[in-house]
Amino acid sequence: MPHPDHDLQGLLSRLADGDRAAFPPAFTLLWPVTRAFARSFLRDEGGAEDAAQQALVRVFLRAAEFDASRPALPWVLGVVANECRTLRRKAQRRREGPLEEADARPDPGASPEESATGRDLERAALAALDGLPAPDVEAILAHIGAAGRPDLPPATFRKRLERALKRLRRAWSERHGTL
Amino acid sequence: MEPSDAALLARTRRAYEQGRLRAALWRAAPLVPVVAWTWSWCRYPALAALCGAALVALTVAFRWRGQIWGRAVLPGLAAGLAPLVLPWLMRGASEVCVGEMCCSLCLLGCVGGGSLAGVLVGRRAAALDEGRGTFLAAAGALALLAGAPACAFAGVIGLAGLLIGFAGGTAPVLLARAPA
């Protein structure tokens, strides 16, 4: 059972209310989560660190707007994902540069169609996650390595993950009619 | 904590304060047309401008500060509607006399509006477990600043009536709920 002071929902609600004492624990809790999520999102160690820092700044910039009736973790990850996407687009534009400077070498990475499909899938997955309860999101993110594993016995965590995946599948099929 | 983490902590702290200020400014923006409207008909435009500027500045400051101060903003502004609207509606009315004692309806509006604001703010303050004084001070300041331009129709005596009405409306509610 986490201490209420260390609960993200409680900390963000206190920050939204203007309780400055919640700032240091919220920073300590959010920084590793943001960094891990940016790493898994961008898959680029150097860029991920910058993106995570900017994303964290963005999260605190918008902390006053946080609606305490909504789950905190999906809100935070939504802000971080948006920031990561923006930074990735900027980096992509910088890499592309003006047409006359472009050389004829083919891009060794994914094709534009593959990138677009990937982006669509990410957006759809985030939208489906957004509707889930906070413990479900926490379990799924821990499972894919984007956040720390909650302090639970393995069997409990397995059951929670199973339930969370079931709800995610249901949310996905309600939105997209597949799976 | 690493030096880079300390720098990030300072950066995020600045961002948090900036975000709060931005949200406070945004939420106080609807007051500007109300202040302009008050200024357009107030008997003393300088007083209306001063009260309006103070009202907007305090609303932003309380919203930015948050907690009890922030939670006092909406009740304070809502309570301020009574002393703003009642004297404004009665400004053209003549005096009402009881026996030999005559009093302008506008002044009665100030006292009545102030009392209503006092009761509203006092009830909300009395329901709090802690921070009653802070809540009362913050919400009361906003309610009085909102009502002052309308009570200026009745002159200094109108402003005094607003203050007395507010104190009279607040005191019984707070005394009734005060711990034994």
Per-residue pLDDT reduced to its tens digit, A54-71: 999 999 999 999 988 888
pLDDT at B66: 94
With bands split at pLDDT 50, 70 and 90, how would you rate the model's confidence at B154? confident
Cα gap B24→B29, rounded to integer Å: 9
**pLDDT at residue B8 is higher than 60:** yes
Average pLDDT over residues B84-109: 74
In the predicted structure, residue B68 carries a pLDDT above the cut 90: yes
pLDDT at A178: 54
pLDDT of amino acid B165: 92
- Pick B100 or B30 by higher pLDDT: B30
Contacts across the A-B interface (CB distance below 8 Å): 54
In this predicted structure, the answer to whether residue B118 has a pLDDT above a threshold of 50 is: yes
Domain layout of chain A by residue ranges: 4-95+112-176
What is the structure's pLDDT at A145? 67
Task: Report residues of chain A scoring pLDDT below 70.
Answer: 1-6, 96-124, 145-147, 176-179
**What was the pLDDT predicted at B140?**
95
| Dihedral of alpha carbons B35, B39, B43, B45, sign | positive
Q: Which of A26-35, B50-59, B82-91 is the least confident region?
A: B82-91
Say if the Cβ atoms of A62 and B19 lie within 8 Å: yes
The pLDDT confidence band at residue B173, using thresholds 50, 70 and 90, is: confident
Beta bridge partners of B97: B102
**How many Å lie between the alpha carbon of A53 and the closest alpha carbon of chain B?**
7
Whether the model pTM is above 0.90: no
Q: How many CB atoms lie within 10 A of CB A157?
A: 17
Alpha helices (H) in chain B, listed in sequence order: 3-28, 31-41, 45-65, 67-71, 73-89, 105-126, 132-151, 156-177
Name every residue in B having a CB less than 8 A away from some CB of A. Answer: 5, 8-9, 11-13, 15-16, 18-20, 22-24, 64-67, 69-71
**Residue owning tokens 């008909």:** B41
Would the pLDDT of B71 be above 80?
Answer: yes
**B37 dihedral zone (left: phi>0; alpha: psi -120 to 50; beta):** alpha
Find out whether A60 and B12 touch, Cβ atoms under 8 Å: yes
For B146, the domain range is: 3-177
pLDDT at A119: 67
Once rounded to an integer, what is the mean pLDDT over residues B137-142? 96
pLDDT of residue B97: 67
Tell the burial category of A21 from Cβ atoms under 10 Å away from its Cβ (0-12, 13-18, 19+): exposed
In chain A, pLDDT over 90 holds for what percent of residues?
19
| Average pLDDT of the residues of chain A | 78
Predicted local distance difference test score (pLDDT) of residue B63: 96
pLDDT at B115 over 80: yes
Picking from A108-117, B36-45, B151-160, which range would have the lowest pLDDT averaged per residue? A108-117
**Alpha helix (H) residue ranges in chain A:** 8-17, 23-42, 45-61, 72-96, 112-130, 134-143, 154-176
| Residue of A49, A61, A65, A80 to mutate when probing chain B, most B C-beta within 10 A | A61
CA of B33 vs chain A CAs: smallest distance (Å):
24
Residues of A with CB under 8 A from a CB of B: 15, 17-19, 23-24, 27, 31, 53, 56-65
Mean pLDDT computed over B167-179: 79
Measured between CB atoms, which of A18, A19, A57 is closest to B12? A57
Query: Which residues from chain B sit within 8 angstroms of residue A18, using beta carbons?
Result: 20, 64-67, 69-70
Residue A4 has what pLDDT?
Answer: 40
Question: And the tokens for B60?
Answer: 């932003």
The predicted complex's ipTM stands at 0.79
Q: Residue A58 corresponds to which amino acid? A: R
Buried-exposed string A159-174: b where 16+ CB fall within 10 A, e elsewhere: ebbeebeebbeebbee
For residue A55, what is the nearest residue in chain B, using CA coordinates?
B12
| DSSP designation for B163 | H
The residue type at B156: V
Phi, psi of B109 (to 5 degrees): -60, -40
- pLDDT at position B101: 64
Q: Which of these CATH numbers, 3.30.465.10, 3.40.430.10, 2.60.120.1570, 1.10.1740.10, describes A4-95+112-176?
A: 1.10.1740.10
